[in-house]
Structure 1
Amino acid sequence: MGEDGLFGWLAAHAWAFWGVIALGLAAAELLTLDLTLLMLAAGAAAGGATALVFPGVWWLQVVVAIAVAILTLAVLRPTLLAKVRNAPGYRSSLESIVGSSGVATAQITGSVGEVKVQGQVWEARSFDPSITVAPGQDIEVYGLEGITLIVYPVEHLTRELGAD
């Protein structure tokens, strides 16, 4: 290829350049699943479509790509996220921790404590303020309050269920 070889090919096939960017962003979206990279991919695809219609006008391709990316981020992404979050059965990753088992890593009272659940250490408090959970005791996550886990000692729960 001569001096103009690569640049000449890119100028004539800018749609392919935009397409590779769009595919790369869409593939990377599979790792994040927050729809941001997908919206940027839509912008790159729009830049590619513009390159097909106006092959030598780089500035227009860039402006269209940026405008579509901003528009989709501002309008489409919030709408799609709201639909996903309001879908029946949706649970965020934080909400999915409810019902999990863990171990107290520090004493847990009605106001303060620490547990290890699913390999992560969390702030915690006891569901029942009159119950203190000792370090090393098994717990179950009853609920969430912000990012503090509301827990109950498994031994106490088993005893209550056995008494019925």
Structure 2
Amino acid sequence: MELIQTIEQWAWIGWLVLILVFLVIEMLTLDFTFLMLSIGGLAGLVADVAGAPIWLQVIIAAAVAAILVLLLRPPLLRRLRRGEDPTPSNVDALIGLGGTVVSSVSAHSGQVKLSNGDVWTARAESGGPADAGELEPGTRVRVSRIDGATAIVRSDSPAPLAPPTEDPRA
């Protein structure tokens, strides 16, 4: 019983430490999550100063943090990201980019030159209905996804038509 009384007596220090730790993490992440948690910790500190028992302080802090994360964080993130450039960059910019096979591309290896001038190691996309196996040099391809430093590509040309069959009536 003495331990619980000691914890309740010094809980304000714990709340201050928790608030400061959350604020430092927020400064490193800039995602507003830890800011909301630190405000929840502030609510717990206020409940402690008001004389609430430790279990009620924790419930108040958790409730305030949850409400802020659910209701205040989304509009803040939208406002923060309002001026961002929507153009994909880095690997995201390569998805859907066209290119040409430089050396035969199979399910295991190959090389393609993308339309941005980069030459990438490549593998043929497998599992789809247009799974043609090996793509020969000169074939137009499109990047489906990036797996590490390898572009997964699919043929950009339409599937070849079936050869005409002889009409038995002729």
| Structure 1: 4+ residue segments shifted above 6 A | 113-116
Q: What is the CA-CA distance between 1:34 and the residue it aligns to?
A: 2.2
**Aligned counterpart, 1:73:** 69
Report the count of equivalent residues. 118
Structure-2-length-normalised TM-score: 0.53
Q: What is the CA-CA distance between 1:66 and the residue it aligns to?
A: 1.1
**Over aligned residues, Cα RMSD in angstroms?**
3.5
Quick one: structure 1 residues 73 and 114, their matched pair in 2 at CA, closer, same or farther if it must change by over 3 Å? closer
**Aligned counterpart, 1:64:** 60
Alignment partner of 2:14 out of 17, 28, 34: 17
**Aligned counterpart, 1:35:** 32
Q: CA–CA distance in 2 between the matches of 1:60 and 1:103?
A: 61
| Mean CA deviation greater in 25-34 or 70-79 | 25-34
Q: Is the 8 A contact 1:106 1:115 kept in 2?
A: no
Structure-1-length-normalised TM-score: 0.55
Q: What is the CA-CA distance between 1:15 and the residue it aligns to?
A: 1.7
**Structure 1: 5+ residue runs without aligned partners?**
131-164
**Aligned counterpart, 2:108:** none
Q: CA–CA distance in 2 between the matches of 1:101 and 1:62?
A: 57
Hey, which of these two has a bigger chunk of helix by percent? 1
Q: CA–CA distance in 2 between the matches of 1:101 and 1:115?
A: 16
**Aligned counterpart, 2:122:** 106
Matches within 5 A, 1:67-146: 67-86=63-82, 88=83, 90-91=84-85, 95-97=88-90, 103-106=119-122, 109-112=140-143, 121=149, 123=151
**Structure 2: 5+ residue runs without aligned partners?**
95-115, 125-139, 158-170
Alignment partner of 2:23 out of 22, 26, 41: 26
Larger gyration radius, structure 1 or structure 2: 2
